[in-house]
Structure 1
Amino acid sequence: MFQLQYKRIYLEKKHVFRIAGGTRTNTPAILIQLQFENHTGYGEASMPPLYGEDFQTAEAFLKRVDLTSFKDPFNTEDILNYIDTIAPNNPAIKAAIDIALHDLIGQILNIPLHSYFGLKPKNLATSKTIGIDTPKIIEERVQEASDFKYLKVKLGSELDEEIINTIKSLTNQPLFIDANQGWKSKEEALEKTNWLKENGAVFIEQPLPKTALDELSWLAAQSPLPIIGDEGIQRFSDLKNASNFYHGINIKLMKSTGLREAYKMAQTAKMMGLKVMLGCMSETSCAIGAAAQLGALADWIDLDGNLGIKNDPFKAHHVENGIIHVNNKAGVGLLNPNWDQIPTL
C-alpha cells in the first residue's frame, strides 16, 4: 500500500532574484515522501507565485489524493492519469507526486531513472542564471559564474542594454537570453535579437507575451536566433502548434506535471524538429536531480535552481565547473536522503 507524506518549506535564495515579472527572496515548496512496502521515493513541488500555486492549493490537492486502489507502483500510466484528473491545473504538485513515484520505481529496480527511460547517462553543461540587477551586483554574479560554460541572462526591462554591456565587459561566455515576456512589440524584439546575436546570445527565450501569437509567429520567421517557448509552452498539448511560434521549447518538470510528460514532450519536440531545453525554477537537488535524468534528450541545459538556494535539504549530482555529473544512484540520484531531518514550517 502507498503511504504519502509531505512537508512545507521555503527555499531561501542566496541572492534577491529579479526578473521582468517581479522580485523575490524565496520560493514556497512542498516536499513529498512516497512509500510502498519497504521502498521510498521523494518528490518536490516548487511554486513561484507567477504560476498560481501555493501551500494552500497544493495541500488542498493532496487531500484529494487517494492511492489505495493502486497495488502496483509500476502502473504509472493509470496512477498519473488519475493524479492529473483530480483537478485542473496544479502542475507543480502533480510533478511532486510524479517525481516521487519515479524515484520509488528507481529504488525498487535499483537503477537510475535515465536507465529506466532508456537514456544514456550524460554530463550536462548547465547555464548559471544572472537576474536583473545593478551593474555592481551583475559583476559579482558574473564572477561567481566564471566556471560555467553558459550564462543565462534575465532581460525584459529598461536595463537590458546596461546589463548586457556590463556582462560583455567582463566575459565572453555565450549567453542564454530570457526576456520573460518583457518586450512590448515584435519590432522591439527583433531589434534586440539582432543586437544580442552580435553580443554572444545563443537563443532568445519567451521574448513576447505568450498570448501575442501573431507577433511571435512573425518574429520566429524573422529572427536570426532561435526563439524558445517557456511561458507559452506548459504541457504536452501545447506542442501541437508550437512550431508556428517557436524554434524550441523549454521543458520544466514543474510545468509539465513531472517526468512522464516531460519525457513525452522532449521526444515529440525532437520529432517535430524543435530544439529542447531543460529548465527549472528555484528547486532542491531532488527536482533538479530528476530533470537531469532526461539530459540526453536536451540541446541546452538550465538546471541551476538548486545552486541558488541556501537551504537545500537534499544532495544529488555533483556540480563542478558548471558541469552536472549525473550519478548512477537509483531513482533521481539522491545521496542518503533523511526525511526526518528535513525542517518544515
Structure 2
Amino acid sequence: MRIEIETFTVNKRFPLTISRGTTSQTTNLWIKVEQDGITGWGEASPFSLGNYRQSTEILQQALQQTVPRLEVYNPWQRQQIEAVLNTQLPSAAKAAVDMALHDWFGKCVGLPLWQIWGLDCSHIVPTSVTIGINIPEDAKARVRAWLQFADVRVIKVKLGNPAGINADREMFLAVQEEATTPDIFVDANGGWNLADAIEMCNWLADMGIKYVEQPLAQGEEDQLLELKKRSPLPIFVDESCHTSRDIPQLAPYIDGINIKLMKAGGLTEAIRMVHTARAYGLQVMFGCYSDSTLANTAAAQLSPLADYIDLDSHMNLIDDPFVGAMLQTGRVIPNNKSGLGVECSAA
C-alpha cells in the first residue's frame, strides 16, 4: 500500500481556554492510505498532557520514519500492521493510520463503519459544546454565540480556573443563567486539588450537574478513592485514562471514562476501551482535541456505544477542509456513505 502525509492548519472561531492553557490554531496531519485504487483517510491531531507531548513535528517525524515499514503490507494485514504501530509510535500517529485503514476497509466493502459494526445511529445522544474558562460576561457571550450558531442541547463548562474555585463558581453561574438547556456538564481538566474537588462536587451536585470530569490532575489517581467516597457526583476521567490498559486499576475509583481517538491510538483501541469499560460497569464518553470533521466523523461511527458525546471541536473551526458527520437535533450523526463518509471540501 502507498501512504501519503500532508499537514493542514485549522483556526478556531473562538479560542479555547482550559486549566492548562489556551489554543486558537493547530496544525494537524492528514494521512492517505491507497491500495487497489481505494484511498482511506485518517487524521492526527497534536495534544499535550503534562510532559506527554505529541506536537505536529513529533507526529510528522514519527510517521515519516514508520511509513516505509508499513508500505510493505496491504490494508488486510491488520495484525502485522498493528505490531508495527505499537513500536513506540505516538498514539495520535497510530490513530491516523488506524482510522485510514478503517476508512479503506469500509470503502472496499461499500458500507459505512457504523453499519459494518451493526450499530444503531438512533442511539446517538446529543453532543456537548464547550465553554472555555473565561470571565463571566465573556462566558455568557460564548454561550449566546453557540446558541445562535448551532442546535445546542448540551453545554460542557471548563472549570479548574487558576484563579480558584470562586472564579469557577462565578463562571458556572453565568453560563447557567445564559443557557437555554438544563443539561450542563463540567470538566475541570485536572485543575483542582482534592479539597477543592470535594467542595466543588458537592456544590455542583446542588446545581443539578450529572457528573464531573477529571477533577484531579493526571498523576493524582491515588486520591480518587477519597474523592469518590465524598462526592455525590459520578466521576469521569480523561487525562488519567489513555487506553484499555488503564481501566482495570482505575475502575474501583471512577464511574466513567472519556475516550479520545488521539490518546487511544485509533478506532481499534477505542472499541477495546468501550468493551473493557462496560465489563467493569463504567459509563463511556467520546471526546476530542482540536480535531477536524475527519477525526470527529470517525469517532461518530462509534457514538451509538456512548453514554455521553463531546465531539464539538470541528464546529468551532472557521476553515475545516472536511465534510462528513452532520449536526442533527444536537447530535453528530454519521452519513450513509462508505467508510468514514468524509469528503474534502477543497477538492
TM-score over 0.5 (shorter chain): yes
SS at match of 2:258: strand
Give the TM-score of the pair, scaled to structure 1.
0.92
Superposition deviation, residue 191 in structure 1: 1.1
User: Counterpart of 2:323 in 1: which secondary structure?
Assistant: coil
The corresponding residue for 1:43 is 42
What amino acid is the match of 1:230? D
CA contact (8 A) 1:27 1:48 kept: no
Report what 1:95 is aligned to: 95
Cα distance between partner residues in 1 of 2:207 and 2:230: 18
2:318 maps to 1:318:
no
Asked if structure 2 preserves the Cα contact closer than 8 Å seen for 1:127 and 1:301, the reply is yes
Task: Give how far 1:142 is off.
Answer: 1.3
Kindly indicate whether the alpha-carbon contact (under 8 Å) linking 1:145 and 1:151 is maintained by their aligned counterparts in 2: no
One-letter amino acid of the structure 2 residue matched with residue 106 of structure 1: G
Aligned to 1:156: 160
Q: Offset of 1:248 from its aligned partner?
A: 0.5
Q: Does 1:114 align with 2:124?
A: no
Q: Distance in 2 between matches of 1:132 and 1:92?
A: 26
Larger mean CA deviation between 15-24 and 47-56 belongs to 47-56
User: What is the alpha-carbon distance in structure 1 between the residues aligned to residue 79 and residue 85 of structure 2?
Assistant: 10
What residue identity is the alignment partner of 2:32?
A: Q
Aligned residues: 334
Given that residues 168 and 199 in structure 1 are in contact (C-alpha distance below 8 angstroms), is that contact kept between their aligned partners in structure 2? no
Alignment RMSD (CA, Å): 1.6
Unaligned runs of 5+ in 2: none
1:337 aligns with 2:339: no
Q: Deviations over 1:152-198 (max 9, x none)?
A: 110001220111110122235221110000002x2221110111112
Give how far 1:256 is off: 0.3
In the alignment, which of 255, 280, 283 is matched to residue 275 of structure 1? 283
> Counterpart of 2:36 in structure 1: which amino acid?
E
Note closer, same or farther for the CA distance 1:49–1:243 as it changes in structure 2 (3 Å cut).
closer
Equivalent residue, structure 1, for 2:136: 135
How far 1:49 moved relative to its partner? Answer: 4.0
Distance 1:264 1:75 in 2: 19
Does residue 191 of structure 2 align to residue 182 of structure 1? yes
Separation of aligned partners in 2, 1:217 and 1:226: 12
User: What is the rounded CA distance, in whole Å, between the counterparts of 2:63 and 2:288 in structure 1?
Assistant: 22
On the 8 A contact 2:46/2:59 being kept in 1, the answer is no
Listed one character per residue, the Cα deviations across residues 306-325 of structure 1 (whole Å, up to 9, x for unaligned) are: 00111111000111342223
Correspondence for 1:215 among 199, 215, 223 = 223
- Matches of 2:241 and 2:35, distance apart in 1: 33
Residue 69 of structure 1: how far off its partner (Å): 2.9
Does the CA contact (< 8 Å) of 2:221 and 2:240 recur in 1?
A: no
- Is 1:11 the counterpart of 2:20 in the alignment? no
Residue 125 of structure 1 aligns to a residue in which SS? coil
Relative to the length of structure 2, the TM-score reads: 0.92
Measured in 2, the distance between the counterparts of 1:282 and 1:202 equals: 25
Percent identical: 36
